[in-house]
Structure 1
């Protein structure tokens, strides 16, 4: 049972700053749970009332009782499955904003794809057989950490050459779609049953901007992939 002043808590990763800034603007107390080595980063933000450090994100369960005593409501984001795993997420009894069933989709690329197809949204072609690759593709690691570990291949032979250095055991091969790099921030309110687009931004890999500044001839032979 929640009584008194509520505290919004989330993991120190992904969209933690947006979540906690919004919570503070709405009058809530805020708390971030982060690893010891990253705690110093969050000390610079005045809208974060408290920082709780743990050695590893996998130790989250050890502080669950403490968070409950602080009257916390957990607001998840895209890194929860990657850092905590499905089992810990589903096992935790801390008040949780949202539907935990969505976590199964967050961790499973095929379920994500089927979700989009069921909504009649166009999705990139996907290859099960390498021999069928006939145009540029992007190869992504499987699961919630798919934002890390991927490469672009312009052909079947290029794919075979680059796979030797790819560390992911599970991956998907998809058509490389040339288009606008756009990430939409939206929020669905269970109170009003309205879906609201809050903002949009462009997503780049950490080194892609610098790579793009190098003339094409200068990029040849560098063997650097966006990351």
Structure 2
């Protein structure tokens, strides 16, 4: 499947109703389920006991309402790797769509690649490239593709401009504690504060990523590469809403100063949601160019390359001589922004807007119809 060797072979029935789209109950599960239902698939969401109501109650399928046909309970999300749960998914002829929460909660890329036998829509070998601590990682893909990304600093002593430091939190390893610094001294004082407050550890700090902070407009370009049609599509664009930096920025400057006098505030950049945005039409060609370069680079580095959805999180910087797109993060899987259907780009192509969840289901459906399912799953 997907030209990679896996142990379990899915059915070759050419009827979407014979298949179930499965997903971990988090991140973009509802987007995936809604899209799957619209294309005639059954849906199954894996849920943890105690955090199941979104899928088992509020959006459960009832006649014409809802999009979650069935839930599968596990004690912990990582249990989905266990043979007894995989047996259930196999019995339902499941095709699994991964997202960031799947990677984070399983927290074992070797297990995902070698032990998880359910066909994954996409190239599961690419998932680990999202982690900057892996070697190779997303930086290597960007370098191979000749896509610009922020300057990296290996040693805090070399800091000579505003940088953003990305370090894993002590308690929530899946979350990163961000802080800004403009000098080695500020890096030291900020990191010491976070260690003292128990937010990060010295060990995690030693593995932190230090990047130049790029000034500009942040835009996530959410692409889809179709194996069936051999076509790159821009499904939509968005930007993040983050706490508590947004609240601080909404205060007038004088009120910010007063607030800082009352108590020290260290802005966080923890994601709380997304907003659909648009870009100038003059930026679409450069955006597609970096998308195409990314696809070609992955084909060379991680065969068979990217399959389906991926996102390039970028900053658009001003000229002169002209605006430029600089990529600061890569998501080689389903993006977590269901609101991108509200942008016009998929509508320009299809005549009506579609979500990334539906675009994924459309690809799976087309692959089944054209006997190409093994080319889009790994």
TM-score, reference length from structure 1: 0.90
The worse-fitting range, judged by mean Cα deviation, of 189-198 and 150-159 is: 150-159
- Structure 2: runs of 5 or more not aligned: 1-9, 60-65, 271-378
Question: How many pairs were matched up?
Answer: 225
Alignment correspondent of 2:177: 149
Q: Provide, for residues 193-220 of structure 1, a one-character-per-residue CA deviation record: whole Å limited to 9, x for no partner.
A: 1111111111122322212223331342
Say which one has the larger Rg. 2
Q: CA deviation at 1:81?
A: 2.0
For residue 86 of structure 1, the aligned residue among 100, 109, 128 is 109
Maintained 8 Å contact 2:104/2:174: no
Alignment correspondent of 1:140: 166
Structure with the larger helix share = 2
Maintained 8 Å contact 1:127/1:173: yes
For residue 27 of structure 1, the aligned residue among 34, 40, 56 is 40
Q: What is the correspondence of 1:29-108 to structure 2 with a 5 Å cutoff? A: 29-42=42-55, 43-45=57-59, 46-62=66-82, 63-84=85-106, 85-90=108-113, 91-108=115-132
Q: Does the residue aligned with 1:103 lie in a helix, a strand or coil?
A: helix
- Structure 1: runs of 5 or more not aligned: none
TM-score, reference length from structure 2: 0.56
- Bigger relative contact order, structure 1 or 2 (CA pairs below 8 A, ≥6 apart): 2
Maintained 8 Å contact 2:48/2:77: yes
Note if 1:186 corresponds to 2:223: yes
Maintained 8 Å contact 1:81/1:106: no
Q: CA deviation at 1:146?
A: 6.5
Maintained 8 Å contact 2:157/2:184: yes
Q: Provide, for residues 21-46 of structure 1, a one-character-per-residue CA deviation record: whole Å limited to 9, x for no partner.
A: 21111111111112222211223221
Q: Does the residue aligned with 2:222 lie in a helix, a strand or coil?
A: strand
Query: For the aligned residues, what is the CA RMSD?
Result: 2.0
Q: Distance in 2 between matches of 1:163 and 1:67?
A: 45
Note if 1:121 corresponds to 2:147: yes
